[in-house]
Amino acid sequence: MINTLHIKNIGIIDEISIDLNSGFNVLTGETGAGKTLIIDSLEILAGGRFSKDMIRKGENYSFVEMSVSNNNNEDIILSREININGKNLCKINGRMVTVAELKNFMAKILDIHGQHDNQSLLNSNVHIKLLDKYAGSNLKKLKLDYLEKYNKYKRLKDEILKNYGDDKEKQRKLDLLRYQSKEIEEASLTKGEEEKLEEKKKKILNAEKLSKNLSIAENEILNISTDSITSAIKALEKIEDINCQYKDIAEKVRSIYYDLEDIGRSLSSYSEDIYFDDREIEEVESRLNLISSMKRKYGNDIEEILKYKEEVEKEIYEIENLEEYTNKLKADLQKLQSEMIDICKQMHQIREKVSNILAKEIEKDLIDLEMKNTKFKVNIDYNETYEFTENGQEKIEFLIMTNIGEEFKPLTKIASGGEMSRIMLAIKKVLADVDEVETLVFDEIDTGISGIAGSKVAEKMKEIAKTHQIICVTHLATIAAKGDNNYYINKEVTNGKTKTNVYLLKDNKLVEEIARIASGEITKVSMQYAKELISKTY
């Protein structure tokens, strides 16, 4: 459930915060006050697209933040900031996420029915998604398994269709790949080789400097009087049993003596290693030049070059054994197709079973919404010979009959704006009963509706609000009067700038707003009518 929505710098909205509640939340106000901008803000936070034109004039960014509580009563803070340069910053509980991650997370929290969603209902591709949503977890599990196989199926088909051209083109490709493989092979590269060569080159180029300073260091160490140190050790050994401090000092002096001997031997060994001739530096330079040349052609480092060689050899094998390789892919594809067909059958059986239940539930709600003679049907066209799609091997379309004796027709053929709004509400109502999404948003669901139909829509939304949080933008008094929480959105001009304000309406202010919506003005008659609407229970 959404607890608080904070919006900054979107359209005419300067900065507002709305504390929302459970149940039926209604947003009203005059045209252009910013009601739709609030819905737009919810869509932005749900991972929707954003236009730079939405950033408030004179500002560099827009910001939307929401506090929600999940089923475990845990508070979650979600936010999205969009800069005028296009940079997106999305966060969930302070952790930065991608827009896609935010979208996936919000899909479990929020379902928005905007002004244009009725049009999506005219698209039959949407119908199968709605049916599958109603079918629930059993179909969802099957569909996930199917989608995994479907993606593999597409990859296999692409691989089979992979074209190396005619024989001449295939031979040219093979010649190039073989040359590359041989060149890398003959280079005999090993991991870490370049770093060792660079270190050796550095020593060669600094041989004189190394030799001179190692010699100086060795001589100085040797010039330290070992006799003096030996005498000091003997003197301390004579008194070390008197006090432990003397014993510790004696140990330290002995350690210094041994360390000096060890250092002297090391310096002598290092000095002996500092010898390089011109041939050796030429070999190192030549090897580094070869590695540099290979890097320009095949990768950023030796590891990448060796990996590229593996890929080249794999492709050589595929071309040389193309027929055998293709036959193996075709066998894999055939086996996969058989598995997919089996899953498609299972999905079809579930869809066929739940389609009748869904149709009856929607019909029931349409009757409640003053579409009394309406019949609803889910038409399923399934055939094992159909090409695989991400939804299986069947096409689904919602059909409707609004008058007795007529034929079932697609929604595009019969539904008016008001009918479409009620059909969508009926579908949302049925899906809400099986959906885990807690908050449903409706932006002007009352399009094309008035009179009794409006009252029925209000009744249906009030019913949904018993189990879900509803946020609804409306222009109908019959709907607004049923709100559990009513918010009035207005705009005002201050210092030459327009800004949006939000007020939670109570008591007489609520009656005045319902009266204004009902008749366009606040009079004794409209106030009395508003009171009657508010007091009317369903």
The pLDDT confidence band at residue 95, using thresholds 50, 70 and 90, is very high
The boundaries of the domain holding residue 231 are 182-318
Residue 206 confidence (pLDDT): 66
Rounded Cα–Cα distance for residues 89 and 58 (Å)? 20
- Residues 532 and 73: their CA atoms lie apart, in Å, by 37
326-341 average pLDDT score: 92
- pLDDT value, residue 124: 80
Decide if 483 contacts 24 (C-beta within 8 A): yes
Least confident range of 67-71, 442-446, 502-506: 442-446
Stated length of the chain = 538
**Would strands 110-113 and 439-443 be described as parallel, antiparallel, or unpaired?**
parallel
Condensed to tens digits (0 to 9), the pLDDT of residues 260-296 reads 777 877 777 766 666 666 677 788 888 899 999 999 9
Higher pLDDT, 237 or 356: 356
Confidence of residue 313 (pLDDT cuts 50, 70, 90): very high
Residues above pLDDT 70, as percent of the chain:
91
Closest C-alpha to 443, from 111, 96, 112, 145: 112
The per-residue pLDDT for range 1-28, each reduced to its tens digit, is 999 999 999 988 999 999 999 999 999 9
Is residue 533 domain-shared with residue 494, that is, in the same domain? no
Q: One-letter amino acid identity for 340? A: M
Model pLDDT, residue 248 = 84
Question: Over the stretch 139-172, which tens digit does the pLDDT of each residue have?
Answer: 999 999 999 999 999 999 888 877 666 678 788 8
Average pLDDT, the chain: 85
Evaluate if residue 538 carries a pLDDT over 60.
Answer: no
- Mean pLDDT, residues 508-517: 92
135 three-class SS: helix
pLDDT digits (tens, 9 = 90+) for 182-191: 999 999 999 9
What pLDDT sits at residue 220? Answer: 67
Number of domains in the chain: 3
Say yes or no: 109 and 7 in one domain.
yes
Mean pLDDT is highest, among 8-17, 117-126, 433-442, for 8-17
pLDDT higher than threshold 60 for residue 115: no
Structure confidence at residue 16 (pLDDT): 93
283 in a domain, yes or no?
yes
484 pLDDT band (50/70/90 cuts)? Answer: very high
Does 523 share its domain with 443? no
Q: Residue 72: pLDDT above 80?
A: no
Does residue 492 sit within a domain?
Answer: yes
Q: Are 456 and 517 members of one domain?
A: no
Distances (CA, A) of 425 to 41, 170, 365: 22, 60, 9
Measured distance CA(342)–CA(145) in Å, rounded: 11
| Per-residue pLDDT at 416 exceeds 70 | no
201 burial via Cβ count (<10 Å: 0-12, 13-18, 19+): middle
Asked whether residue 323 is domain-assigned, the answer is no
Specify whether 71 is located in the same domain as 102: yes
- Return the pLDDT at 341: 96
Pair (84, 193) in one structural domain: no
In a domain, residue 153? The reply is: no
- Given a cut of 90, whether residue 427 has pLDDT beyond it is no
d(CA 148, CA 156): 13
Res. 327: pLDDT tops 80: yes
pLDDT value at 380 more than 70: yes
Model-wide pTM > 0.85: no
Q: How far apart are CA 183 and CA 187, in angstroms?
A: 6
Say if residue 471's pLDDT is above 90: yes
In a domain, 124, yes or no: no
> Domain end: 286, 318, 350, which one?
318
More confident residue, 219 or 532: 532
Using alpha carbons, select from 422, 407, 429, 492 the residue that is nearest to residue 130.
429
Rounded percentage of the chain residues whose pLDDT exceeds 90: 40
Checking if the pLDDT of 179 tops 90, the result is: yes
User: Is the per-residue pLDDT at 70 higher than 60?
Assistant: yes
Final residue in a domain of this structure, among 318, 339, 361: 318
CATH code where residue 106 lies = 3.40.50.300
Based on the fold, state whether residues 46 and 99 are members of the same structural domain: yes
Which of the given ranges, 43-57, 250-264, 320-334, 377-391, has the highest pLDDT on average?
Answer: 377-391
Kindly indicate the confidence band of residue 50, based on its pLDDT and cuts at 50, 70 and 90: confident
pLDDT for 271 equals: 64
Question: How much is the pLDDT for 429?
Answer: 84
Question: Per residue in 296-306, is it b (16+ CB within 10 Å) or e — as a string?
Answer: eebbeebeebb
**pLDDT at position 519:** 85
Residue 365 falls inside a structural domain: no
**Do 110 and 42 share a structural domain?**
yes
Domain co-membership, 456 together with 514: no
Mean pLDDT over residues 379-406, rounded? 90
Are residues 103 and 223 part of one domain? Answer: no
84: in domain: yes
Q: Is residue 346 part of a domain?
A: no
How much is the pLDDT for 425?
A: 84
| DSSP string for 68-120 | EE-TT--EEEEEEEEETTS-EEEEETTEEE-HHHHHHHHTTTEEEE-TTHHHH
pLDDT reported for residue 120: 67
If pLDDT is split at 50, 70 and 90, which confidence band does 382 have? very high
pLDDT at residue number 76: 93
Position 218 pLDDT exceeds 90: no
Choose one of 318, 347, 379: the last residue of a domain: 318
User: Is the domain of 200 the same as that of 213?
Assistant: yes
List Cα–Cα distances, 421 to 26, 35, 128, 415, 448, in angstroms: 17, 19, 19, 9, 8
Q: Are residues 93 and 188 in the same domain?
A: no
Q: What is the mean pLDDT of residues 410-421?
A: 74
